[in-house]
Copies of this chain bind each other. A is one copy, B any other.
Amino acid sequence: MDFEDSPAEARFRAEVRDWLAAEAPRFVPTPDADEAERVRLVRAWMRCKADAGYAGFTLPPELGGRGGTALEEIIFLEEQAKVPVAHIETFNLGPSTIIPMLRVHAAPELVAELAAPTIRGEFCWCQLFSEPDAGSDVAAIRTRAVRDGDDWVINGQKVWTSGAHIADWGLLLARTDPARPKHQGLTAFVVPMRSVGVEVRPLKQISGRSEFNEVFFTDLRLPDRLRIGEVNGGWRVVVTTLSNERLALLSDRTVGRNLVGPLLRLAARSGGTAFLDDTEFCARLASYYATVAGVDHIRKRLITTLAKGGAPGPEATVGKMTIARLMQEMAIFGIDLAGAAGEAIDPVDPDLAEIQDCFFTAPGYRMGGGTEEIAKNVVAERVLGLPPEPRADKDVPFNRGAGG
């Protein structure tokens, strides 16, 4: 076992570190930067990285990539995470998830058209799957795509679309044949988000922020060349996309935020190391840290497996099934620790503020990318080999089953 770099890895890491130290400071947003400014900075930073060969690590040079290795990418991302540079999560979707999926399912010309601008930050992506009546059960979507000559006409509504208000392109799943069973009547498309017939409305969350959107399609016309995969073959695109998304989840940002530091500092502020005699504090924090640390080690192991060309094991979802829930429990524990002071959103104490913010964002983390419950079913069935539950919806025409 070796949790450290090989000499070659260490050399590359040093090179990256030097380059980041020289370049990244130009792309740090000021504290009062608005979203437009941050978007501008992220786009500029992505272009800068692409120009220097630090983007599209595993993409071939003809697609604008570095033609390098996944291990290089991982080392770069680890080092980048240590510097305060502009970051907007949604800009990762294209490079990490959409482009790999397109290379499997799309025509080479379309890939060539989209890949380079995506890794250069010119094309930002969003994923248009979820709908009000299709959350965990993605295959239950109702947005319709109807063939009209060489075009498709799209009508319907999507929801929970991160970054739709920023995105240049979207990956859309629509129903093309309601008379087929629910998984077999779906088709995928890529959608220019600034088209006529696309309306994006921000969705205010309980945190008061709007990180998600509703997206409405009204007679949107798409040429058939923007179709991905076969007609009624959209479910395969979904599967590829979600498996890539699961890898993207390995970027620790999306699993949940780490409250170990804030809790330790909050506790220390009320008196030195007295918290070591607070047995409940120690019990809660120790158990939480053991989970956070375990998930982090698993993440690194999976990344290394990937980097060596292996397939990630099912442990990828361990974080999903544990961290967000614990983050919520620990946020509640932290607020309770503060007592009545925890009742007022604190503008001064950054640790209490972080804890309170996690209180409001944790519920979303518990659902994002599939609920904990769905993830446990997957583990039980795919890893432990337990039989699936009986399902009545898989083989009936969608318009005569739950979708009718």
Contact = CB atoms under 8 A, between A and B. Distances in A.
Nearest to A283: B280
* A-side interface mostly: helix
Copies in the complex: 2
Interface string A277-304: 1111111000000000000000000000
A331 B63 CA distance: 62
A392 interface: yes
A392 B390 CA distance: 10
Interface string A296-326: 0000000000000000000000000000000
A392 B392 CA distance: 13
A277 B281 CA distance: 12
Contacts of A281: 279
Contacts of A279: 278-281
Of the candidates A279, A282, A283, the one having the most CB atoms from chain B within 10 angstroms of its own CB is: A279
Contacts of A278: 279
Contacts of A392: 390
Contacts of A280: 279-280, 282-283
Nearest to A392: B390
A129 to B, nearest CB: 27
Contacts of A283: 280
A283 B279 CA distance: 10
A280 B279 CA distance: 5
Of the candidates A277, A278, A280, A283, the one having the most CB atoms from chain B within 10 angstroms of its own CB is: A280
Interface in A366-404: 390, 392
A33 to B, nearest CB: 42
Interface in A224-260: none
A36 to B, nearest CB: 47
A2 to B, nearest CB: 35
A277 B278 CA distance: 8
10 contacts: A277-B277, A278-B279, A279-B279, A279-B280, A279-B281, A280-B280, A280-B282, A280-B283, A390-B390, A390-B392
Interface of A: 277-283, 390, 392
Given A280-B280, A280-B282, A390-B392, 7 more contacts: A277-B277, A278-B279, A279-B279, A279-B280, A279-B281, A280-B283, A390-B390
